[in-house]
Amino acid sequence: MQQKSYLLLGSLNGAFKVLQLLKRRSPFYSFPFSVDPDDAPDQLQLELIDLHCDSELRSRHQQLSIVKFYSQLDKSRFKEIRTLAKKMLSLFDSTYLYEKTFSVMNLNKNRMRTRISDSHLCDILHIKTTAFEPDLVYLLQSKSQFYPSH
């Protein structure tokens, strides 16, 4: 179990380093029309200037969801901005999993349940963070007796 804890800790440390790196770029992703291109990294500056000058894209940004907006940008014209958007979109999914894991861990390992072993906690975390859905109808139909006799 200790090895699994080190793996989780290493994974979290890597994720938080990525968060720190991308934190500086999040305004360019979330509010591309309100940031100054001079404050952007070199590879994004020209594309941000082009984006600011396009009134049609400005209106699309206001009308569409952020995911649809970035998916409709021209791939050849806004290559760096689209790459940043992909990184930011994939980042939110992974942080959700970390937050969900910590919530499950805090609910299961608390002052009232001090005797839960690390092995059991690991099993609970694995079950709770997996997208597996059991087929309950099949399981119930496959049993000939719902309540076995004593």
- Examine the pLDDT at 5 and tell me if it is beyond 60: no
The pLDDT assigned to 13 comes to 55
The DSSP call for residue 131 is -
CA distance 137 to 73: 45
Report, as an integer, the average pLDDT of 57-78. 89
The span from the CA of 102 to the CA of 96, in Å, is 10
- Residue that has been written with the tokens 């500086």 in this structure: 24
- Proportion of the chain above pLDDT 90, given as a percent: 13
Give the per-residue pLDDT at 54. 92
In this prediction, residue 92 carries a pLDDT of 59
Mean pLDDT, residues 120-134: 78
Locate the DSSP E strands across the chain.
none
pLDDT at 9 over 60: no
Q: How confident is the model at residue 150 (pLDDT cuts 50, 70, 90)?
A: low
Q: Which of 20, 130, 2, 86 is nearest to 10 (CA)?
A: 2
**Over residues 2-14, mean pLDDT:** 52
